[in-house]
Each structure stands twice: as C-alpha cells, then as structure tokens.
Chains A and B, each alone.
Chain A
Amino acid sequence: MDFYQGKVLRLDLSAGTATVEPLNMEWAEKYIGGKGLLLRYLWDEVPQGIDPWAPENPVILMTGPFAGTSVSTASRLVVGCKSPQTGILNDSYVGGSFAPEMKFAGYDAIIIVGESPEPVVVVIKDDVVEFVPAKPKYWGLTTSEIEAAMREDVDPNVKTLSIGPGGEKQILWACLSTDQYHKAGRGGHGALWGRKNLKAIAVRGTGTVTVGDAKAFLDDMYRIHSEYVLTEDNLWANEEGTPVLGQIMSDAGVIPTRNWSTGTFDQMEGINSDAFLKIRTKNRACYQCAIGCRQFHEVDGIAGEGPEYETIAICGANCGIGDIAALSRFNQECDELGLDTISSGAVVALAMDFTEQGIKDFGLRFGEVDSYVTAPRLIASGEGIGGDLALGARALAAKYGHPELAMEVKNMELPGYDPRGSFGMSLGYATSDRGGCHMRSYPIADEIVGGSLPPDTLEGKAMKIVWGNPAEGMIGENFSSIKFSGIWCDFWAITPDQIAQILKHAWKHEFTGDEVFQIGERVWNLGRLFNLREGVEPDDIPHKLYMEEGAHTTGASAGRAIGTETFKNALQEFYQIRGWDEHGVPSEAKLAEIGVDVRL
C-alpha cells in the first residue's frame, strides 16, 4: 500500500537475529501510525506485568505513514516501551531524519527485543542488517562522537539513533539521540537500551516511499504548505522558537523557579528570548519540515542547537540560573551524555533545595554556576553526588525524608509550567498517559499564550483537556493522539480538517474532522487500557500544586490556589466526559463506540 512500507524489522538482541514481518494493516487502518500504531503493537508485544528492565520488554521504533514524503513536519519517530522510569507506557518523539531513513530502508517499524550478551551496534543498509560489536571502539562515546563514527565507518549519509554514556550507565532518564540535538527525551528509553547493551542503530535507506500519483500529490502538498504550514501561526517557531515562551511564562507566574518555590524568575532577562537572539547563529530544520525551528547559538565557545524552553525553564529558572553560558553548557553536557534535560534539571534543582534548606548538603546551590555545570557528568558517571541524583526526584526526596519537595507525576519529573499560574495544567499533568508531561494537552496555549481562557479557574477545563481547541492551536489529549500518530510536529498548528485532507491521500477515502478526533480518542483509550493493565498510580499531582497552603507568596501567580476539592471534582468531571468510571476505567460502551479492539 502507498505511504506504508508494509514491513516491520524485528531485532532479537539475545539471538543476534534480524527478521522481517508484515506490518499489521488492520491495525494501521484503525490506529494510522506513530503513537496509535505503536500503542497497538505495545499491547501485544509487552508481556503483561513484565518488569520493565526484563529482556522481554521491547523497545519499538514506529514511523508515521507520511515520513519520507512532502508532508511537512511528518518526519518524526516515536519510540515506545513500558518505561523503566514510570512503569507505564512511554511514547517519546524525536525529529531529525531517522524516521524517513527507516522508511527509505524499507521499514515502518523496528521492534527490538532481548538483551545482547555484549555491547552492540546494529547497522541497517536497506535489507542488510549487521550486528557489530560496540567494544572497544563505540562503547563510551558521546552522542556526537558515535554519530561521527557511524558516518565515517558506515556511510556518510547514515542516520544514527544512539545512547550516550548516560544510557550506558542506565540512568533512569537517559534518552535516545539522533542528528546530535534531537532526543527521544523522556521516560528512559536510553536506560533500556543500555540494559539491552544496544549502543546505536545506524540506518541508511536508498529505497522508495510510494504515494500513488506523485505529481498530483506534490500539487496538493504545495497547496497545503502555502495555505496551512507557512503561516503566521507557525512561523514564530522559525523566527524566535520556544525561547520566546520564557519571558511570557515568567510574567504570568508560570515558570518553575528555584525548585517550584515561585513562578516568576527575577533573572529572566539573562535567559529570555532577547538574550538568545543575541547569541543566535543560524536556524535549521528537521527532515521534511518547511518551518525550521532549530535555533543554533554560540556563547563562550559553546556552539550548538538549543536550549529549548523546557530546558530554559527547568535547568535555568528552576535551578536559579540566569547565566546563559552556564545554561548552554549544562544543555550541551546533557546532549552529549544522552540525558533528558527536564529530569536532569529537576533533580539538580531538588538537590539545590536540599542544600539551601539544610536538609542535605549536595554542594549545589541555586544560581551557583560552577557546581551546577558539573552535575550532568556526575549523574552519568555515578561519581560523587551523582549516585544520589541518579535516583530521580521521587526516590531522592524520599531518601532524605522530604517527598513533598519532589515535583513529579508517576515518577516522571515535571516540565516547565506551574499549574498555580495556569490551572488547566494540573489536569493535564494528572491525566497524562506517560506521567509528568506537557505534550498530551497544552492548556497553556489558551490560558497564557492565546489568552482566551482565564488561567485561574478549572471551570470548563476538563473538556479542553480531553478535546483541546485545535482551531486556536491548543492540543487536547484526543487531538494530540491523532496528531502524534501522523506523526506531525506540535509546531505545526494543524487542524482536524487539515489532517483529514492528508489522511485521504493514504486511505483513498474522505475523512471528516469528527472521524479524525475519534481516531485520537481511540488511541487515547487504548493507552489508558495499557496503563490499567500494567498497573498505573492514581491520577494526581504533587499536592502543593493545588492545596490552599501551597499557593505562591511571590511572583505573578502569588496567592492563587486551585483547592483540593476543586481539583478532585474536575478530575471526576474529566472521567465523566471520557466515559470512564470514577477510578478512570473506560466503560465497555465507550470502547465499543470508538472502536478500540482490545479489552482488559
């Protein structure tokens, strides 16, 4: 079938074998690709109740049907597993050029199972798959080093997905890297690769992705680019990129500051968009993206892409760091070591808080640059304080008797939006299917950036979390589920109607916006079933984020509190809208209505 390659590559690391299987097209029709198809495969591939660290826990790389075509931004890859960090589903997305290269090599998906007896690199050149020993040459390399080595040793055009030293050490939030700065960042896929002794997958594809009548398709994509992609709604990402959010969030009392002790950062001017514009050197794009949001910077000899807003917030403001060079260095260290910046910044901020409060002296203090920039390397090596930091925020806070200071949901450290400044985020975090994440629903778009909904109430927000407001660029859970099945980038504010226009090319029949939404709802419910099957914690967030006593006393969101009852009522309202019972279990009627094909 056009757009799909119809092939899944299964890599058994224990046996050192590679086999090709047909892609399940019935599942593809129901779940499209990306997130949806990944979750459907995880449902079957993850043995129920498996220890996430066990060799049998697979890691699945899934593309979308439009990777390797002119559909803008749809080059993203999703990586999925049962997360060693959270124990529930983890779908983590990464741009760059790896997914299109996989498609050109002939595969829609790669399923990685087992555990290699020795560290290994898997080299894929179209239909030839080789298992290459990673020692002594590749094991231990940083992410830029392993990519350069693969270009040198395999093919100048090879695309590499790899772990750095953090993944080799199985740090809980180690990530996967590709094109150097692109990370499947969250949930510890890198840790699992480290456990599986998998250093890298390097792929070179010279094949074809068919789309039917290519000239007609090009004409329609030209129209879609002109009308929907290269518009003011999206070009902000090219012009300023996510650093633009820093000052907005600080002014709104939303940016987590000094381990979530306030929502406005007094040194924001050091790391806001104006500061980054001064050190900007160029602007790059992911494969097949017309927007191009990748901002390169250079300061004090540190050159490279990023940091993005979440890093600015959690590794900057949340650590009391207003020094752009120190922040850039920390970001670069995490990139090279293959560590997620959000979780890294969160545990460093927690350790700073412990030091400042006299609970435990980690030698880290808010705003102190010298110790701060060394922290990622200590985490990845386990030296000194690194062993403690690598516990993650929840276990670290528990170890020293202050669980209330850990800002995480389902053991995933929270990103850069304080719900006390944007109430909707409380529900977004609580109901996110992979734990503390801002990429499932983004009420910030309506409460802070767009400004059409008041940020200091939860009234009507449950509906927005479920359905979003795509016309104004706000994703909700159902819509992000279909958008990330495409896989379209969040930075294209695509609408259900536009998705329908593109899906039509693949499935050769018309879709309505409502049908697009329903696919998303189907995907979201499938994820919920997976989490219930594997055992998910109750949907909640750190209590100080909604308790009256937890209100900020300083900053732009001072004095605001959601209230415990209000939060709990809104959560029940959310379950009702979803057709779930009071414990968040989907009803049979709902599952039948939206066509979910599995049951608990």
Chain B
Amino acid sequence: MPHVMISSKKCTGCHMCELACSAYHEGAYRPSVARLFSECNPTTGATKGHTCLQTGCAKCQQACPNDAILTREITVTVRGEFAGKEKVGDTVKGYVLIVDEAACTNCGECYDVCPTGVIHEHPDREVAFKCDLCDGQPQCISFCQNPHVLAVDLKVDKKDRDLAQV
C-alpha cells in the first residue's frame, strides 16, 4: 500500500514536511500537530523519520475497540519528484487508514501500539489524528524537492501490490 517514508540518511532535518503537513490539515502552521516528524539531534546531526506505514502496519486499526480506523481507497499522485518515482510510478492506487472521528472515543489504545509514534490525540478535538496521505497529494513529499535530498519518499509494499488491484 502507498505510504510515506523518510530516509534517515538523506533527511537534512529542515522539517519542511511537518510544516506542510500541518498547514494542509490544520489550516495553519502547527508542526506539533504534524502527522509525521523527523527527530533530529543538532549536535550529531542524526535524524530519524517517523511516518505512518498505513495498511502495511495497521496496528492502530487492530487495537481500536470502536472500529474507528477505517480502510479507504485512495489514489496518490505526488506533486514533484520523489526518490522512488521510477519504481512506484506517477500514480498509485491503494488503501489508506483514516480516523472516523464520529466513532473515535479518544480511548488511546492506538496511541500505545503505534510503533512509529504518529497517531495521537488532537490537542483541540478529543479524537485521534493521523496521516491520510493528504487526500492523495502528500504535501510532505512536495516540500522535500531538493534534488540532492529527496528524503521524504512514497513507498509501496510489494506484498500489498496485489491487494491494490482488487
């Protein structure tokens, strides 16, 4: 399934992805509510990306007692370049996990199981929030366009490719 990954080796720690993510979803810049993040140590320069692996992981969905994590069809078309473009192609169809805010009770089960730490309680609404691939045009990838960097990447799980064609 399509999902975003950040290459820790290539990531410069500019946080442009978090900025764009929050602007798209929150209607204003608020990276503390971004749906992905890069952890950076300024002294060593070490970076570590944290992104949602969507259906390839789905631990949040499995943990949810209220069936509030839904699987939705999505068509992803990235604006601009990304490292895996040749392999993945211009347009990827597949599934994405989204939060059904009407069903979510903010119980926190998913927060505890997420292996990358990218599903949280929204600070303004008592529901979970997570990456939804920006309705098919991931802003994080569009704002990582330095040709020498291209750290924020669109990936597709090989084992899931068949599912995408269902």
Contacts and interface: CB of A to CB of B under 8 A. Distances in A.
Interface of A: 68-70, 72, 96-97, 104, 144, 147-148, 157, 179-181, 205-211, 214-215, 217-218, 221-222, 225-226, 230, 235, 238-239, 281-292, 294, 296, 303-305
B75 interface: no
A462 B145 CA distance: 39
B146 interface: yes
Contacts of A291: 146
Nearest to A283: B12
B146 A305 contact: no
A79 to B, nearest CB: 18
A218 B147 contact: no
Contact of A208 (B16, B28, B80): B28
Contacts of B165: none
A364 B14 CA distance: 41
Contact of B14 (A69, A211, A222, A290): A290
A266 B49 CA distance: 44
B13 interface: yes
Given A222-B80, A284-B12, A284-B45, A292 B149 contact: yes
A570 B69 CA distance: 71
Contacts of A179: 42
Interface in B14-54: 14-16, 19-20, 23-24, 26-33, 40, 42-45, 47
A288 B14 contact: yes
Contact of A214 (B23, B32, B80): B23
Contacts of A290: 14, 16, 143, 145-146
B106 interface: no
B142 interface: yes
Given A286-B14, A292-B12, A292-B14, A70 B24 contact: no
Contact of B32 (A104, A282, A296, A304): A104
A386 to B, nearest CB: 26
Given A97-B15, A288-B19, A290-B143, A206 B32 contact: yes
Contact of A287 (B15, B142, B143, B146): B15
B134 to A, nearest CB: 10
B30 A230 contact: no
Contact of B30 (A144, A180, A207, A296): A207
Contacts of B148: 235, 238-239, 283, 292
Nearest to A290: B146
B45 A296 contact: yes
B142 A210 contact: no
9 contacts: A68-B29, A70-B19, A181-B42, A218-B20, A218-B139, A284-B45, A288-B19, A290-B14, A305-B45
B89 interface: no
Contacts of B139: 218
B128 to A, nearest CB: 17
Contact of B20 (A70, A104, A148, A235): A70
Contact of B43 (A147, A207, A238, A281): A147
Contacts of A288: 14-16, 19
B79 interface: yes
The 10 lowest CB-CB distance pairs between A and B, nearest first, are: A285-B12, A285-B14, A179-B42, A206-B32, A292-B12, A209-B29, A214-B23, A210-B28, A208-B30, A208-B28
A214 B45 contact: no
A222 B30 contact: no
Nearest to B29: A209
Nearest to B143: A70
B84 to A, nearest CB: 19
Contacts of A239: 148
A148 B43 CA distance: 9
A373 to B, nearest CB: 20
Given A144-B43, A208-B26, A296-B45, A235 B146 contact: yes
A181 B43 CA distance: 8
B129 to A, nearest CB: 14
A292 B15 contact: no
B127 to A, nearest CB: 18
Contacts of A289: 12, 14, 16
Contacts of A215: 23-24, 27
Contacts of B145: 225-226, 230, 290
Interface string B39-74: 010111101000000000000000000000000000
A104 B31 contact: yes
Contact of B13 (A72, A208, A226, A284): A284
B67 to A, nearest CB: 30
A305 B45 CA distance: 8
A214 B33 CA distance: 15
A206 B123 contact: yes
Given A207-B32, A209-B29, 15 more contacts: A97-B15, A104-B30, A147-B43, A214-B24, A214-B26, A215-B23, A222-B80, A225-B145, A283-B148, A285-B12, A288-B16, A289-B12, A290-B14, A290-B146, A294-B45
Contacts of B32: 104, 157, 205-207
A285 B26 CA distance: 25
A225 B143 contact: yes
Contacts of A68: 19, 29
Nearest to A71: B19
Interface in B87-108: none
Contacts of A221: 143
A144 B28 CA distance: 32
A180 B14 contact: no
B12 A180 contact: no
Contacts of B40: 284
Among B14, B40, B44, B142, chain A packs the most CB atoms within 10 A around the CB of B14
Contacts of B30: 104, 206-209
B28 A209 contact: yes
A286 B47 CA distance: 13
A180 B146 CA distance: 24
A239 B149 CA distance: 11
A70 B32 CA distance: 15
A289 B13 CA distance: 9
A399 B133 CA distance: 66
Contacts of A208: 26, 28-30
A215 B135 CA distance: 13
A94 to B, nearest CB: 12
Contacts of B47: 284
A217 B145 CA distance: 17
